Chain A
Amino acid sequence: MPEAAYHLGTELGRAVNRMDFFRLFKALALGQGFQHFVLFEVGGEDEGINLRNPHVLHNLPDSLIDAAGGRPLGAGDELLAACKPSTAAYGVAPGAGASRILDAIGAATMIAVPLHTVAARRYCLMMLGDRGLPEHETLAVVALDAALIFQRYHDAILSLDSISGLNDREIQIVRWTSEGKTSAEIAIILGLSEHTVNSYIATVLRKLHVVNRAQMVASALRSGLIA
């Protein structure tokens, strides 16, 4: 049995935030000899990887990201296009010049694992590196590990967008926002970081289908989430 599953013990069940999932996907990639990974949502068009999507995870080199200049990564790249019609994991070792992404990071091999949420949103985990193509058995284990991590990622992070209702912490933050407190002030009051407070606000905005704090407070008042 390949060693890919070594980290899927307690660490998987304990993962709660994006940092934890970054660690898990990175361990999966490195454990199989791949230097880089990127988990991204597969769009309908050939628009590349939108690194600004809040659910993207990757350890791509900064030089590649800086070169993209905020634009989607790999638009028109054949390597990316190949993952759209695929529903099974596969690996490729294209020749030099066949993929700008591989060339840019000096990788020779890529494997792609298509992933799906229960709401039929499509994601893909790509691993890139300079090792050879894995055997089918190894690819199967990687695909299973990736699916298990992704399922946990969905349960802990992605599904928050579709869960109705707010948890106690979110209600606290909406309530303080309705009192006119800023994120920094709420962070001090609740003993959290400003990043965490903004993360809660971003989640509440998505849950309530609103785009700013005023709408968030108004929506919460109207629906009786806060008095």
Chain B
Amino acid sequence: MTTGQTEYPLKILLVDDDPAEHLLLRRTLEKVDGPPIELEYVADIESAVECVKGGGIDMVFLDNRLVPNNDFRETAPQLRHAGFIGPIGIISSDISGSYFQEFPEFGVDFRINKNEIDRAAISFIIAEYTRNQLSDNCAEDFS
């Protein structure tokens, strides 16, 4: 697994109103090789906002439809407004809706169908979204 700037263990927050999804994702994460991953779980966007405000969350898997919200277009921006700058991935049992094409405009990094989430997909997501894309000579302080 390619590692970037993230300090391990990587902490992933799952936001899903179906507790069964928590169990399924936990079992999938246990199969992933490499550095340890901690999984936090909340069932609604209000709890998720409080969780990211508390700090320490590296990545969020956000269920598309969280009752009573409509879809990610209502929920993902709440995490961004709370100051969360880690990757947000939308997970759903159906990502075929045309509105999914708008995901970059709502601060979302990727979308994935729940039945596509397996060990390989998790490994790719972690490698892709924790790698340092900029070389060492691209430091922040360039003054």
A interface list, Cβ under 8 A from B: 10-11, 14, 16-20, 22-23, 26-27, 51-52, 54, 59, 61-63, 65-66, 180, 182-184, 187-188, 191-196, 198-199, 201-202, 205, 211-214, 217
Contacts and interface: CB of A to CB of B under 8 A. Distances in A.
B113 to A, nearest CB: 8
A202 B133 CA distance: 7
Interface of B: 1-2, 32-34, 77, 80-81, 83, 85-89, 96, 100-101, 104, 107, 109-113, 116, 120-121, 123-125, 128-129, 132-135, 137-140, 142-143
Contacts of B100: 14
Given A23-B116, A183-B140, A193 B1 contact: no
A59 B2 CA distance: 12
6 contacts: A14-B100, A19-B109, A188-B83, A193-B107, A212-B137, A212-B139
Specify which of B86, B135, B138 lies most central, judged by the most chain A CB atoms within 10 Å of its CB. Answer: B138
A65 B133 contact: no
Contacts of B120: 26, 59
A199 B133 contact: yes
B81 A198 contact: no
Contact of B142 (A26, A61, A212): A212
A11 to B, nearest CB: 8
Nearest to A201: B134
Contacts of A65: 1-2
B101 A16 contact: yes
B33 A195 contact: no
Given A192-B80, A195-B109, A195-B133, A22 B85 contact: no
Contacts, number: 106
A205 B138 contact: yes
A202 B128 CA distance: 14
Given A193-B107, A199-B133, 7 more contacts: A17-B109, A66-B34, A191-B107, A193-B87, A195-B86, A201-B138, A212-B135
A193 B86 contact: yes
A178 to B, nearest CB: 10
Contacts of B1: 62, 65-66
B85 A198 contact: no
Given A16-B101, A195-B129, A212-B137, A51 B2 contact: yes
A19 B7 CA distance: 22
